[in-house]
Structure 1
Amino acid sequence: MALNAIEGTSRPDVDIDALPYIDRELDDAEMKVTVERMIEQEMRRMKRKERSDLPLSIDLFEKDEILKQEIERIKKKEQLNALDTKRYELQGPEDESDLDGWRAAVNNTKSQLESQAGSMFNLELLQKYGANAWRVHNFQLEKDLADIKKNTESLRNQILEINRERKNDQTEAASLLASLENKWSDLITQNLQVDIACAALESEVDELRRYKESLQQN
């Protein structure tokens, strides 16, 4: 993996040349200032768009008329009439001689009585079975919480293992890079020595050639 990180064979489309566990150049204040200056210069050369690609406005819920009306109500800061409380009021008609009004009032009273009876029945069911239902619900929540904690711990361990492998791989890569850098320095030194020796030999050859020419002239 270290070789892949160096040579880039695992991802040929990506040039991986950073080893965050090893590189410490940015710890140097002068280097950090230099990098920030280069980034700023690069940003100045970037072309800026006069207009953003994002739309200026978004038409929310254009296919849902109800939600669209609700958004408009919120924009206008109008109150929400979510519940019609008048139907829960037991009132007679304003005109006491209105027979249809009395029938509607009686029907409304009957519906309220049925609603109250249903509420009482639900309360009885809650008193009888509610505690066990809540125990089962809490047990399910505790089980879900335990599963989430287990998965979280597993993911945390995976992250730690990945970071540990990255650090080990980069440490190995650092050793290899140091070895290659030393080898490169040795080769450069040898090349310089060869160049110096070649220059000395060329100078000696030129000197011998001039000496030979002087002998021939004499």
Structure 2
Amino acid sequence: MAGEVSLDALPYFDQGYEEPGVREEAAALVDEETRRYRPTRNYLEYLPAVPEDAFLSPVLRAEYDRMMSRLPMELLSMKRYELPPPPAGQKNDLKAWADSINNSSAQLQHQATRIMNLEVMARFGANAYRVHNEFLQRMVEQEQRQLQSLRMQIQEINWQRKSEQTKAGAEIQQLESTWFALVSKNFEIERAIAELEGQIREATLYEEMQKRQQQEEGQEQEVQVEEEKQQDLEQEQSLEQEHEQTQEEIEEQEEEEQQGSEQRVEEQEQSDVQTNSLTMSDAVE
């Protein structure tokens, strides 16, 4: 809302206002803000309109209009204090003479009234002025008492403000020291966390390296096992081939021996047949 100002200063507690450069810095801030401030054409438009002619009488309103129009002020008319005779052309006019006589009577009564007022003032004016002065004196005393009361209220407000600001300043100092301690503690915690995170990263990297090394060793072992298996398989295959070759050779030898034995048997049979035939032929002879 317009008109509200929020201050965050504690003038009864803050220090350093008299240090060199502070006033110049504050003036520079004010100048910088005034350069950025762009007031509207009517910056009081949120306020209600001022009733300028609320206390103006018709005479004052006419006088203000004359001054606004820059017209000269009319001179004081002294015609009512004059006793003019009838005009030259109305010397024998009874009505003109009656108007002159009435004007003279009115002037005479006005002067008589003024004399009576002066006599009454001379008789009672001193007491009236004395009473008026006493009334003014009582008004002055009442205003002075009211002024003294307001000054005491202002002093009490200032003392209360000073007490509140001193208390708030001490609390702010305590909170500020607590804040600094917590910030330092948070910094130490963050540093310890960073160190722990670094150690965790190093341990994680070391574990990953160990796992990778174990995996590589496992892979190497698996490769070696596979190679050994392959070598064993090749040896088994070579042994099987050798066994098959040996078996084939044995079978061939057995076949050859069997064929040789059969051939020998046949040859023996043939020789026996020949022998038998020879024996029979010999017997026949």
Q: TM-score range by the shorter chain?
A: 0.7 to 0.9
Deviations 1:118-143 (A, max 9, x none): 12221221122111111111110100
Structure 1 stretch displaced more, 104-113 or 166-175:
104-113
Change (3 A) 1:120 1:68: closer
How far is the alpha carbon of 1:92 from its aligned partner? 1.4
Deviation at 1:116, TM superposition (A): 1.9
In the superposition, the TM-score normalised over structure 1's length comes to 0.72
CA RMSD of aligned residues (A): 3.4
- 1:105-126: CA deviations, max 9, x gaps? 1111111221122122212211
TM-score between the two structures when normalised by the length of structure 2:
0.57
Seen in structure 2, the aligned counterparts of structure 1 residues 78 and 139 have a Cα distance that, compared at 3 Å, is same
- Is 1:73 the counterpart of 2:71 in the alignment? no
Offset of residue 100 of structure 1: 2.0
CA distance in 1 between counterparts of 2:37 and 2:200 reads 57
- What secondary structure does 2:84 align onto? coil
Provide the aligned length of Structure 1 versus Structure 2: 199
Task: Give the 5 Å matches for 1:106-145.
Answer: 106-145=101-140
Structure number, greater radius of gyration? 2
Paired residue type of 2:116 = F
| Partner Cα distance (1:89, 1:115) in 2 | 13
Unaligned runs of 5+ in 2: 46-51, 215-285
**Does 1:162 find its partner at 2:157?**
yes
Cα separation, 1, equivalents of 2:144 and 2:72: 44
- Measured after TM superposition, the shift of residue 195 of structure 1 is 2.1
| Corresponding residue SS for 2:11 | coil
Cα distance in 2, alignment partners of residues 178 and 53 from structure 1? 40
Match of residue 23 from structure 1: 14
Letter in 2 for 1:167: K
For 1:187, the aligned partner's letter is: L
Give the C-alpha shift of residue 18 in structure 1: 2.4
Q: Which has the higher contact order (CA 8 A, sep 6+)?
A: 1
| Aligned-partner Cα distance in 2 for 1:76–1:201 | 89
In terms of fraction of residues, the more helix-rich structure is: 2
Of all paired residues, the percent bearing the same amino acid is 34
Distance 1:29 1:71, change over 3 A: same
Match of 2:87 in 1: 94
Distance in 2 (CA, whole Å) between partners of 1:124 and 1:14 is 62
Q: How does 1:1-218 map to 2 (within 5 A)?
A: 17-24=8-15, 27-28=18-19, 30=21, 37=28, 40=31, 49=40, 51-52=41-42, 67-74=60-67, 75-82=69-76, 84-95=77-88, 96-208=91-203, 217=213
Q: Secondary structure at the match of 2:14?
A: coil
Deviation, structure 1 residue 191? 1.5
Letter in 1 for 2:134: F
Bigger shift: residues 166-175 or 34-43: 34-43
